[in-house]
Structure 1
Amino acid sequence: MNIDEVVVNFSPGSLVALNVVLALIMLGIALDTSPADFRVLRRAPRAAVLALLAQVVLLPAVTFGLTLLLGVQASIALGMILVASCPPGNVSQILTYRAGGNVALSVSLTAVGNALYLVVMPLNIALWGGLHPTGREILAQVSLDPVAMMVDIVVIIGLPFAAGLLVRTRWPSLAARVHRPVHVISILALVGFVVAALAGNFAVFVAWVGVVLVAVFLHDAVALGLGYLAGRAGRLATRELKAVTFEVGIRNAALGLGLVMTFFGGIGGMAVVAGWWGVWDIIAGLTLATVWARRTRARERQEVAA
C-alpha cells in the first residue's frame, strides 16, 4: 500500500463544516489575544526578530533538507513542510510557563506569528513543496495556487482572527467568558473529523506508522533545537531563551490537519504527519519544559547556598 495514494474523502457538506471548525479555532485564539500583545517588536525587538526569522525562514528551509536526508515518501515530506509552515501553537505559552520562561513574551510572539502566517504560510508551502523533487508532484496534482490559497486562508482563518481581536478589544469580559469553550469545542470537533475520516484507512496508516514516528521525532527535535540555537545566538536571557525555544518548536498541527483536508484533498501521508505531530509535540515539549524547570531551580538553589 502506498501512503501517497491514500485519500481521506469528505463530502461538500463536510468540507463546509470543516472550514467552520478552522474558523472557530482561529476565533478562539484571537479571543485570548490582546492588541497589546502585538507590541512585542517594540518591547523586545531582538527576541521577536530571532523568533520570527527562525520560524518563517529557517524552520521550513531546514525541514526541506531533513525530508531529503530521510528520503521519506512524497506525502510525508509535504506533511512535514506543511507543519513547519504552520503558525505557532498556544501550547507554547503553557510550556513556557512550565519551564519558568517569559510567558508575556511567548503570548506576544504567538499573536504576531499568527497574524504574519496568514501571508507567509501559503508562500512557504508553495516554495518548499514546489522545490521538493517528489512533493511538487503532489502540489501539481492538487493544483495548489498560493495566491488562491492565501485568499482562502484570509477568509477562513484571517477574518475570524480579526473578529476575535475586535471582540477582545471592544467586549473583553465577553471574550474572557467564551474563548475557552470556543477553543475546546473547535479542537474536539477537528479531532472528531480526522478520526472519523482516517478510520476507513486504518490499515494503511498502521503500515506506515514507524516511518512517521521517526520522521516526526527528528523533525520536532530539530524545531525545538532551532529555537534554542536562535536564542543562544542572540544571547537572550534564560527566561526569554525558553520562550523563543518553545515558540519556534511548537507548531499548530491541529490547524495543519484542517488544511490537509481543505486544501490538499486529505492526502494520507500529510494527514498522519500532522496528526502525530500534534500528539508528539506536546509530549516532547512537556518533557523538555519539566527538565528545564528542574535544572533552573537546582541552579538557583546552588546560587543561594553559595
Structure 2
Amino acid sequence: MTETTLDNVQINFDDQTLWILNLALALVMFGIALDISVTDFKHLLKRPKPVFTGVFSQFVLLPAVTFILVWAIEPLPSIALGMFMVAACPGGNISNFITHLAKGNTALSVSLTAVATLLAVFMTPLNLQLWGSLYAPTSALLQEVAIAPFEMVKLVSLLLGVPLLLGMGLHHIRPVMAKKMAKILKAVSLLFFVVLIFLALYNNRDIFMDYIFYVFWIVVLHNVIAFATGFSLANFMGLSQRDIRSITIETGIQNSGLGLLLIFTFFDGLGGMALLAAFWGIWHLVSGLLLAFFWGFKPVEKEKLA
C-alpha cells in the first residue's frame, strides 16, 4: 500500500490555515531576532572559523550527505524530496535553547541562526533544486511541480529574512523593550506555531497514522547522520568542545516548520514530503533534548579564544 500510494497522498491545509501558519512562523523568527544584535555579527569577524564551519556544515555538507543517504536507501520519491527539503532548511528555532542546555556556545548558536537565516533566502531554494535534480526520481517530481525559484526566494524572505531584520532593528533602536518583548514573544509564538501544526496534522491523522512507521526509521536515521555530520566536521576543524556542541546541534536541528510551509505552498502538501518534514519537527526535539541531557552532565573545557 505504502509504495503505491504515498507519493500520491496529499495532506490538506486550507488557505486560511496556511496563511496563519505563515504569520506564526514569521512571529517566531521575529521573536528570536529580538535577541540578536549587530554586535553578534561583529564577534563573527573576530572568530570566523566556527561560523564558517557551521554554515558549511548546514548548507553544503548536510545536503551532500543527505544525497548519499537517499542514493543508499532509495526511499520513495516524495520521501526523498522531503529529505532534501529538510536538509536545505536553516537551523531550527529551538536550537539556541538546546545548545544552552547542552552547555554549548550559545553566542555562536545565536550568530549561526542569524547568518543561516539570511543565507537561507537563497540557499534553501538553491539546495532543494540542485540536489533534487541530481536524483532521477525526485527530479521527475520537481519537473511535475515546476516551482518558480524566485517565488520560493520571495516567500523565504518574507518568512525569515524580513522578520529577522525587523527584530534586529528593534533591538538596536530599543534594546530594553526588545528584551522584554523577546521573553514573551518567543515562547508564545513558538507554542502557537506548534499548536497550529498539531491541529493541522490531527485533521489529517488517518494519513499520518497509516504511514508514520514507514517514515519513522528514515527520519531517525537522517537525524542521527545530521548530528554526526556537524560533530565530525567541527572536530575535524579543531574547534573547542563548546563550539563542537553548538555546530552539532545547529546541523541536527533543522527548521522543518519552514520546510512544511514550503511543501504546502509549492507542492500542495505532497504526502511523503509533508509527513517526513512533520515527523522531523517532532523527532528532532526529542533527539535534541536527549543529546542536550547527555552533554549537560559532561564537563566541558574552557573555550580557547583563537
Quick check: TM above 0.5?
yes
Q: Distance in 1 between matches of 2:102 and 2:200?
A: 36
How far is 1:170 from its partner? 0.9
Indicate conservation of the 8 Å contact 1:105/1:240, yes or no. yes
1:227/1:195 Cα in 2 relative to 1: closer, same or farther (>3 Å)? Answer: same
Q: What does 1:40-119 align with in structure 2 at a 5 Å threshold?
A: 40-119=43-122
Alignment correspondent of 2:231: 228
Aligned residue for 2:261, secondary structure, equals helix
Alignment correspondent of 1:303: none
Indicate conservation of the 8 Å contact 1:142/1:265, yes or no. no
Indicate conservation of the 8 Å contact 2:86/2:259, yes or no. yes
Aligned residue for 2:239, secondary structure, equals coil
The Cα offsets for residues 63-83 of structure 1, whole Å up to 9 and x where unpaired, read as 111122121111111111111
Q: Distance in 2 between matches of 1:97 and 1:193?
A: 26
How far is 1:185 from its partner? 3.7
Alignment of 1:248 with 2:259, yes or no, is: no
The Cα offsets for residues 246-297 of structure 1, whole Å up to 9 and x where unpaired, read as 1222111222222222222111212211111122112112222222232337
Partner letter of residue 11 of structure 1?
D
1:105/1:192 Cα in 2 relative to 1: closer, same or farther (>3 Å)? Answer: closer
TM-score by length of 1: 0.89
1:136/1:194 Cα in 2 relative to 1: closer, same or farther (>3 Å)? Answer: farther
Equivalent of 2:6, from 3, 7, 13? 3
Task: Tell me which moved more, 48-57 or 23-32.
Answer: 23-32
Alignment correspondent of 2:218: 215
Aligned residue for 1:289, secondary structure, equals helix
Indicate conservation of the 8 Å contact 1:129/1:136, yes or no. yes
1:122/1:102 Cα in 2 relative to 1: closer, same or farther (>3 Å)? Answer: same
Equivalent of 2:286, from 283, 286, 291? 283
Alignment of 1:124 with 2:150, yes or no, is: no
1:200/1:240 Cα in 2 relative to 1: closer, same or farther (>3 Å)? Answer: closer
Alignment correspondent of 1:150: 153
How far is 1:230 from its partner? 0.8
Partner letter of residue 189 of structure 2?
S
1:200/1:100 Cα in 2 relative to 1: closer, same or farther (>3 Å)? Answer: closer
Task: Tell me which moved more, 282-291 or 193-202.
Answer: 193-202
Alignment correspondent of 1:273: 276
The Cα offsets for residues 104-159 of structure 1, whole Å up to 9 and x where unpaired, read as 22221222111111111111111111222222222223221222211232234322
Q: Distance in 1 between matches of 2:258 and 2:108?
A: 22
Q: Mind listing any 5+ residue stretches in structure 2 that lack a counterpart?
A: none
Q: What does 1:255-270 align with in structure 2 at a 5 Å threshold?
A: 255-270=258-273
Alignment correspondent of 1:198: 201
Q: Which 4+ runs in 1 deviate beyond 6 A?
A: none
Alignment correspondent of 1:295: 298
How far is 1:214 from its partner? 0.6
Indicate conservation of the 8 Å contact 1:84/1:251, yes or no. yes
Alignment correspondent of 1:174: 177
Alignment correspondent of 2:141: 138
The Cα offsets for residues 138-192 of structure 1, whole Å up to 9 and x where unpaired, read as 2223221222211232234322221111111111222222224333343334334
Task: Tell me which moved more, 174-183 or 128-137.
Answer: 174-183
1:98/1:169 Cα in 2 relative to 1: closer, same or farther (>3 Å)? Answer: same
